[in-house]
Structure 1
Amino acid sequence: MRADKTLFTGLVKKDRRALARELARLEREEAARRRRHRRIAWRTGLAVVGVAVLSVGTVTIVSALQPTPVLGPMNMASDGILFSGDGSTVTAATAAGLESDATPVASTLDTSDKLLHVVVYADYGSADSALFETTNGSALLSWVTSGYATLELHPVALDDSVNQNYSKRAANAVACVADASPDAVPAVNTALATAQSTAGASGLADDALVTLVQTAGVTDAAVADCITSGTFDDWVVDATGRAQASVPNSDVAALDTAPLVVVNGTAYTGALDDASAFESFVQNVYAPSE
């Protein structure tokens, strides 16, 4: 604020000084007011920027802390791995891995194709699962190889609390093989069943599981790392829980014991160590119309 010289016209010296002091005071107050407004605006601007930066930072930190959805093993979109044959070779069906919160897609049961569709839920810590496999596994695999049947294998862990997590660790080993070398799963499945009777109450150690898988033909170092690190342990627990809640394409509502063997939708309830009884059951279930 600058004084208009005409304001001083007609005033004596004393009055001009008083007026000048008053004008100066008013100018100082106006300048101070402008400075206060600038400080308030500056602080408000900083606060807004700070909140924005904090918000972005918080979102970034929260995003970084959010766990990345864990993928289940490749080639097990149904929680099981499906095999078919062409007369000489058994081949696994391929599929992408499922995220931890994804819903598995059950395989379609189509009996119009005149094939046997066999589904086995196996717990590798269970003597009963091993008994069924050592008794009937060879015949099952021969049917699949010949192209007469499909086989869907579900590794589960029902007996985990009594064998120091061996059921889960062995199922994880199968999942590791399914993820990297799916066609080798039948050989690993057979080897695990054979080893069950001599594995002891605690089952095979992780290093022994790696050796078993390598002996079955899977020498990939990534598979060994997958086994020893328990990569799919959580998936095994989740898949087992899903089977305990519901068994698709079956006359059994839920999994409560292993093995569970389902042929064309009907569960086998006969003796696990009687190959003739199982073969008769299969024939009765299949019973193709002529």
Structure 2
Amino acid sequence: MTIGGSGDGSPAKNRRRDAARVKAKQLRVSQKKKDRRNKVFLQGGIAIAAVAIVVLVSVIIMNSIKPAGPGPKNMASDGALIGEGMVTSLTPALQPDANPRPSKPDTTGAVANIRIYVDYLCPLCGDFEDANNKQIAQWVDSGAATVEIHPVAILTSKSAGTKYSLRAANATACVANYSPDDFFAFSSALFVDQPKETSPGRSDDEIKTVVRKSGVNTALSDINACIEDGTYESWVTAATNRALDGPIPNSSMESIIGTPTILVNGKPYTGSLEDPKEFASFVQVALGETYSTSTPTPDPTPGG
């Protein structure tokens, strides 16, 4: 007798087994197609996300980089020139990529031409300002001297990320543009309670308070908006680079190497920053040298 029964190899059972194998194969093929499809979608999604990130970063970068714009009015030499009566010389705005126009110094020896390159976070600039601001103002007001102040932003990275040097210099450009005769007073006020190097410096709102307290009362809303927008920051950066690259007009200096850089009738001052008498003596000597070189030499006596 055969053990196991006669149905083990029946055609019906074989057909069911073959159908199951075919179904399983179809499911595997379908799953592979689905996996490939998901992989393509995933890769495509990653690519789209990557493109979106690149676009977003590009937009952020483009928005953070201010396009080069014109400089402020009344600073075509990259500085503000203040003369008798504390009046600032008026000049048109310097257009992007245009070369600055150096101020014409007095060559008669009657007027001291003082030029100062300052960074408003520079402690040595503060020392010179504290010692000499009052006498410089007196000389300029009386017509005995002119002072040309060049704001630069060398210490932009030294204020805990706030770019105080750049923002302060921009603020002086805003004042020069909208209220030029207040430039000297505002520039001086920025050194009162001067922020320390490596500190965050003043906020924009605090700078605007200094503007108001320094006596500026013309176009305050325009000046405030100019400070908030950083309108002249790209110009400040360009002017700083010009001073660092040189040459320095109306002098033998190739470039500035730091702040303060002080010139009197084109001659660099290297004396004490905290001794007003020493600086006054230097100014007198520079005036005398200018006078002696500008005085024509008499012609020889005929027949002598």
TM-score (norm 2): 0.69
| 1:93 paired residue among 74, 83, 89 | 89
| CA offsets 1:176-231 (integer angstroms, 9 cap, x no match) | 00000000011111111113156871111110000000111224111011011111
Q: CA deviation at 1:240?
A: 0.3
| CA offsets 1:231-255 (integer angstroms, 9 cap, x no match) | 1000000000001111111232101
| d(CA) in 1 for partners of 2:197, 2:165 | 12
| 8 A Cα contact 1:134 1:190, kept in partner | no
Letter matched to residue 280 of structure 1: S
Q: CA deviation at 1:140?
A: 0.6
Q: Structure 1 pair 68/208, CA: closer, same or farther in 2 (3 Å)?
A: closer
Matching of residue 192 in structure 1 with residue 190 in structure 2:
yes
Q: CA deviation at 1:69?
A: 6.2
Q: How does 1:172-183 map to 2 (within 5 A)?
A: 172-183=170-181
| d(CA) in 1 for partners of 2:186, 2:163 | 18
| 1:116 paired residue among 109, 112, 117 | 112
- Give the corresponding residue for 1:77: 76
Matching of residue 224 in structure 1 with residue 224 in structure 2:
yes
SS of the residue corresponding to residue 184 of structure 1 reads: helix
Q: CA deviation at 1:109?
A: 2.7
| d(CA) in 1 for partners of 2:67, 2:189 | 34
| 8 A Cα contact 1:73 1:178, kept in partner | yes
Q: How does 1:1-290 map to 2 (within 5 A)?
A: 70-85=69-84, 89-112=85-108, 114-163=110-159, 164-197=162-195, 201-219=199-217, 220-246=220-246, 247-287=248-288, 288-289=291-292
Q: Number of aligned pairs?
A: 221
| d(CA) in 2 for partners of 1:151, 1:201 | 29
For structure 2, which runs of at least 5 residues remain unmatched after alignment?
A: 1-65, 296-304
Moved beyond 3 Å, runs of 4+: 197-200
| CA offsets 1:51-80 (integer angstroms, 9 cap, x no match) | xxxxxxxxxxxxxxxx98611100001000
Q: How high is the sequence identity, in percent, across the aligned residues?
A: 39
| 8 A Cα contact 1:115 1:148, kept in partner | yes
| d(CA) in 2 for partners of 1:180, 1:252 | 31
Letter matched to residue 77 of structure 1: A
Letter matched to residue 232 of structure 2: F
| 8 A Cα contact 1:69 1:99, kept in partner | no
SS of the residue corresponding to residue 119 of structure 1 reads: strand
For structure 1, which runs of at least 5 residues remain unmatched after alignment?
A: 1-66
SS of the residue corresponding to residue 104 of structure 1 reads: coil
| 8 A Cα contact 1:250 1:265, kept in partner | yes
Task: Quote the RMSD (CA, aligned, Å).
Answer: 1.8
SS of the residue corresponding to residue 207 of structure 1 reads: helix
Larger RCO: 1 or 2 (CA < 8 Å, sep 6+) = 2
| d(CA) in 2 for partners of 1:195, 1:166 | 14
| d(CA) in 1 for partners of 2:216, 2:245 | 33
| CA offsets 1:70-95 (integer angstroms, 9 cap, x no match) | 1110000100011110xxx2101101
| d(CA) in 2 for partners of 1:224, 1:203 | 18
| 8 A Cα contact 1:73 1:176, kept in partner | yes
TM-score (norm 1): 0.73
| d(CA) in 2 for partners of 1:197, 1:147 | 32
